[in-house]
Amino acid sequence: MNVLLNGRSGKVGSVLAPALEQAGHRLVDSVGDADVMVDFTRPDAALANVQAAVDAGVACVVGTTGWDTDAVADAPVPVLYAPNFAIGAVLMMRFATEASKLMAGAEIIEYHHPAKLDAPSGTAARTASLMDGEVAIHSVRLPGLVADQDVIFGDVAQTLTIRHVTTDRTSFMPGVLLAIRNVAQLPESPVFGLERLLWP
């Protein structure tokens, strides 16, 4: 497929660009030449990038968090937005959703590198939105971190911690490639979360 990758020189994009080419996709520089647009940029740029792709009739896979996703609620082409493309992170969210139905309370601690622009992270916000009850989120920004998250549950005389650790951004590649292959076949748009492709 012809892929327009916005954010090619960024933290994720610099890893994703060679992964796309190794998977047989061709990187293009114009939305007019693209089969799909992939965006890993900044919250203040993502919406304009998505709107340009939608206007050109190009499906979108978006990993940028912190932008106004409501603005593409009526997009005539498929738009998939996922706050996290790591399969383990998607499993963490699914397990946390199930645990929240049975445990008395929960809180989330998310850990990211200092350059992370939004707090809480999109992954933490998405996790909390899927869980039962009110879930407090605590954000940590420190050097040495990539993207980790703990979901801590408490109940009578017990706790349960579901933890996902990202040691390298290559963990996102299988999920992004899955999204690129399947975004055009989505039955509605926009679709939020990679879980829609893992458990249709």
Q: What is the pLDDT of residue 10?
A: 93
Comparing C-alpha atoms, which of 135, 121, 166 is closest to residue 148? 166
What is the spatial distance between Cα 153 and Cα 74, in angstroms, rounded to a whole number? 37
Comparing C-alpha atoms, which of 45, 51, 79 is closest to residue 65? 45
Q: How confident is the model at residue 165 (pLDDT cuts 50, 70, 90)?
A: very high
With both helix axes pointing from N to C terminus, report the angle between 13-22 and 173-182 in degrees, rounded to the nearest 10: 60
Q: What is the pLDDT of residue 66?
A: 85
Would the pLDDT of 200 be above 80?
no
With both helix axes pointing from N to C terminus, report the angle between 87-100 and 122-130 in degrees, rounded to the nearest 10: 30
**Mean pLDDT in residue range 69-73:** 89
Comparing C-alpha atoms, which of 76, 70, 79 is closest to residue 50? 79
* Catalytic-residue membership of 112: yes
Comparing C-alpha atoms, which of 65, 68, 23, 63 is closest to residue 183? 63
pTM: 0.90
In the chain, list all ranges with CATH 3.30.360.10: 87-167
Q: How confident is the model at residue 20 (pLDDT cuts 50, 70, 90)?
A: very high
Would the pLDDT of 33 be above 90?
yes
Catalytic residue of the set 11, 25, 112, 113: 112
In CATH terms, the fold of domain 2-81+170-198 is Rossmann fold (3.40.50)
How many residues can be counted in the chain? 200
Q: How confident is the model at residue 48 (pLDDT cuts 50, 70, 90)?
A: very high
Q: How confident is the model at residue 174 (pLDDT cuts 50, 70, 90)?
A: very high
At 105-155, the pLDDT tens digits run 999 999 999 998 889 999 999 999 999 999 999 999 999 999 999 999 999
- Alpha-carbon dihedral of residues 91, 97, 102, 103, nearest 10 degrees? 90
**Mean pLDDT in residue range 48-77:** 93
In the chain, list all ranges with CATH 3.40.50.720: 2-81+170-198
**Mean pLDDT in residue range 179-189:** 94
What is the spatial distance between Cα 69 and Cα 81, in angstroms, rounded to a whole number? 8
**Mean pLDDT in residue range 1-30:** 96
**Contact predicate 122/83, CB 8 Å:** yes
Q: At residue 21, what are phi and psi to the nearest 5 degrees?
A: -65, -40
The token pair at 54 is 């939608």
What is the spatial distance between Cα 106 and Cα 160, in angstroms, rounded to a whole number? 9
Catalytic residue of the set 25, 116, 138, 164: 116
**Mean pLDDT in residue range 96-100:** 98
The token pair at 35 is 């089969």
Per CATH, domain 87-167 is 3.30.9.10: no
Would the pLDDT of 65 be above 90?
no
User: What's the mean pLDDT when you consider all of the chain?
Assistant: 95
Q: What is the pLDDT of residue 117?
A: 84
Q: What is the pLDDT of residue 76?
A: 92
Comparing C-alpha atoms, which of 121, 109, 141 is closest to residue 63? 121
156: enclosing H helix or E strand: none
